[in-house]
Structure 1
Amino acid sequence: MQTELDSYFNSIIENVNLEIRKFVRSDIKTLEEASLHLFSAGGKRLRPLVLVSSSDLIGGDRQRAYKAAASVEILHTFTLVHDDIMDRDYLRRGLPTVHVKWGEPMAILAGDYLHAKAFEVLNESLKGLDAETFYKAFSLFVKSIEIISEGQAMDMMFENRDDVTEDEYIEMIKKKTAMLFSCSAGLGAIINKANDEVIENLLQYGLNLGISFQIVDDILGIIADEKELGKPVYSDIREGKKTILVIKTLREAKESERKIILSVLGNKDAKKDELEKVAEIIREYSLKYAYDLAEKYSDLAIRNLSKIPVSNETAEKALKYLAQFTIKRRK
C-alpha cells in the first residue's frame, strides 16, 4: 500500500508545486526570491495532500483541486514568514528564515505578497463555478484567515500567563493550526459541489487532524534534535509557549520543579543546559499524556472519514494515512 500512496502523494505534490511556481512570480526578483524561499526548502505539503485527497474522495476535478491546494499552501507559507518574524526564529526547514536572509521589511512584503497570491490562485481555482459554490469557498477561506489570526494572537498572549488551561490550549491550536487543515478538507468538498453533510464531515476531519498535528509538533519541540526539527530546538520553551506539555507539567510537577520551569520558560537568555533541564522535567510529566491526546484526535479524524461515501479508495487510504502519520512523524 505504501508504494501506491507514495506514488499518489508524489503526483499531488509535483502538480501543486507547479501551480505555486506558476503563480508566485514577480518582476521584482528579490521579492520573488524571498516569497519562494520557504517553498524551495521543501516541506511536507500536508494541507495540499488533504485538499486534493478530499476532492478525489468524492470523485472531484483534479486540475481545480491542484489550484485550490496551491492557494492553501501559499496562504500557509505566508503565515510561516510572519510567524518567524514574530517569534524571532532564525531557522525554518533547515534554512535561514526569510527575515534573517532578506531583512524584516522585505520579509513582511514577501508575506503580504503571498497573502495576495493565495487569493489570486483561489480565484483561479473557482473559475467557472456557480455563484453559490464560489461564495461558500471564498467565505471558508476568508474565515480561516480570521480564525488563524485569532489563534496566533492567543498563542502570543499565553506567553505572558502561567495559568493557561488545557481547554484554552485546545481552542488556541484549533484556531492557529487546525483551522487551515479544516479549510483544506472542506475546500476539497466545496469545489466539487458536495452536499452539506459531506462538507461538514470533511471540515471536522481536517480540524481533528490539525489538532493532532499541532500536539505532535509541540512534542517534537522537546524531543527532536535541531537537524530533525529544521528549526531551533527548545525554541518553544525559550519563547514561553504554553503547550499541552507545559500546561500538564505545571499542573502536576513538584513546587521545586515548577520554580525551575518558570525561571526558564520565556527567558530569551536561557542557557542550553537550563533549557535541557526544563525539557527533561516536561518529558517526564507529560510526554505520554500528550501522545495519547494526539492519538485521540487522530482517531476522531478517521471516524469523521468513515461517515463519507467513498468514490476513490486510494484517496480514502491517503486520508486515513495522513491522520495516522500525524502521530508517527519525527519532524
Structure 2
Amino acid sequence: MSGQQAVEAAIATRRGEINDALDEGLPLQEPEELYEASRYLLEAGGKRLRPTILLLVAESLADIEPEDADYSSFPTADDDPIDVMEAATSVEIIQSFTLIHDDIMDDDDVRRGVPAVHREYGLSTAILAGDTLYSKAFEKMLETGARSERSVQALSELATTCTRICEGQSLDISFERRGAVTPDEYLEMVELKTAVLYAASAAIPAMLLGYEEAVDPLYGYGLDIGRAFQIQDDLLDLTTPTEKLGKQRGSDLVENKQTLITVHARRSGVDVDNLVAADSVEDVTEAEIDEAVERLEEAGSIQFAREQAEDLVQSGKDNLQTLPDNDARDLLEGIADFLIERTY
C-alpha cells in the first residue's frame, strides 16, 4: 500500500467511526424537521478531515496503535480516561454549522452534491438548523469527561474559533466589494475563515489529554495546513469538473471571490473582473471557465498558489516534531500532503 493509500485508508476508517458517533450523538427527535435539517449535510457525506486529525493527534500523544484505540475511554497524560470522540464530533458539527450559514450567505444551490439546506428546508429552518448545530457542538465538548480546567480550556478554544470564523467570513464578504487585496490580507482571511478550525482540531486533544507543551506546535500545524487546504480548494474550484466538485466549477470567479490565484493575477496585470462574462453561476459555460483558467496559468497565478500551499504544508509538518515518532504522526504528515494533492 502506498503512502497516499495508507492515508486515505486511515481517513476512511476513522470517518466510519465518526459517522457512527454523529448518528448516535445527534439523533432524530422533535421537532423532526429541525433535526432532519440539522443532520442533512452530515448525512450527505464529507471527508471528516478535522475530526480525523483530532483523533490522530490523540493517538499520537498517547502513543496508541489504531487497533488499540478506544476513543470513548482514552488515556490522558495522568491516566484519567476521557471520551475524545465527543470532541471529534464537536468540531465536525461546527464545520457543518458553518457550511449551512455559508450557503445561505452565498445563496448557493448545492453542497456535497445535494441541494443546500436552505434550498431543501427553507431559509428559516436552515438558519435554525445551523444555530442548533452550533449549540450542540458545545454540548458535545462538555461530554468528554475531562477535568474541569481542561474542559474549560477546550471550550474556550472552540468559542474563540467560532468568533474567528465569523470574522473571516466577514472579511471574505468585504473583499468582494474591493478591487484589490494583498496576498497577506488573503492569507489572514483564510486563516480566520478556514484554518482556525483545523488548528483547534489539532490543539484541543492536547488540551484535553493534559499535554500542554504540545498545544502551540499542534495549533501551528493546523493553522498552516488549514491555509493550504483553502488554497487547494480555490485551485479545485477552477480545475475540477463540476460533477466531481459537487458545485459549478469556476463559481468563485463568477461571484468575484478573492482567492490567492486572482490576487496574484491582478497584481500581474490580468483583468480579473472580466475573466468571465457571465453574471451568475447558472449562466457560466465550461468554455468560459476553460479560457479563464488558461489565462491564469499563463500569468503564473495557478503555479504561484500551488507553491504557496506546498510551503505551508511543509511548515505545518515541521510542527509535528512535538509528537512522539509513531504511526499516527506519520499519518498526520500524510494528511498534510493529502490536503494539497486531493482532486476533490
TM over 0.5: yes
Gaps of 5+ in 1: none
Identity %: 35
Q: Contact 2:251/2:281 (CA < 8 Å) preserved in 1?
A: no
Question: SS where residue 158 of structure 2 aligns?
Answer: helix
Determine whether 1:325 maps to 2:338.
yes
Q: Contact 2:323/2:329 (CA < 8 Å) preserved in 1?
A: no
Q: Contact 2:7/2:335 (CA < 8 Å) preserved in 1?
A: no
Size of the aligned set, in residue pairs, is 323
- For 1:244, the equivalent position in structure 2 comes to 260
Determine whether 1:148 maps to 2:165.
yes
* Cα separation, partners in 2 of 1:202 and 1:265, compared to 1, 3 Å: farther
Shift of 1:11: 3.4
Shift of 1:23: 2.2
Q: How does 1:5-84 map to 2 (within 5 A)?
A: 5-25=7-27, 26-59=29-62, 62-63=71-72, 64-84=83-103
What is the rounded CA distance, in whole Å, between the counterparts of 2:261 and 2:185 in structure 1?
13
Superposition RMSD in Å: 2.0
Of the candidates 272, 278, 297, which is equivalent to residue 283 of structure 1? 297
Of the candidates 240, 252, 273, which is equivalent to residue 224 of structure 1? 240
Shift of 1:268: 6.2
- For 2:139, the equivalent position in structure 1 comes to 120
Q: Contact 1:222/1:283 (CA < 8 Å) preserved in 2?
A: no
Shift of 1:233: 1.3
- For 2:320, the equivalent position in structure 1 comes to 305
Gaps of 5+ in 2: 64-69, 73-82
- For 2:329, the equivalent position in structure 1 comes to 316
What amino acid does structure 2 have at the position aligned with 1:319?
Answer: L
- For 2:175, the equivalent position in structure 1 comes to 158
What amino acid does structure 1 have at the position aligned with 2:214?
Answer: V
Higher helix share: 1
What amino acid does structure 2 have at the position aligned with 1:280?
Answer: E
Tell me the TM-score normalised to structure 1 length: 0.92
Q: Contact 1:71/1:117 (CA < 8 Å) preserved in 2?
A: yes
Shift of 1:34: 1.2
Determine whether 1:212 maps to 2:228.
yes
What amino acid does structure 2 have at the position aligned with 1:14?
Answer: G
What is the rounded CA distance, in whole Å, between the counterparts of 2:243 and 2:343 in structure 1?
11
Q: Contact 2:224/2:316 (CA < 8 Å) preserved in 1?
A: yes
* Cα separation, partners in 2 of 1:158 and 1:18, compared to 1, 3 Å: same
Q: Contact 1:237/1:264 (CA < 8 Å) preserved in 2?
A: no
What amino acid does structure 1 have at the position aligned with 2:147?
Answer: D
Determine whether 1:107 maps to 2:115.
no
What is the rounded CA distance, in whole Å, between the counterparts of 1:178 and 1:171 in structure 2?
10
After superposition, give the CA deviation of every residue in 1:170-229 in whole Å (9 maximum; x if it has no partner).
00000000000000001121110102x311110000000101100000000111111111
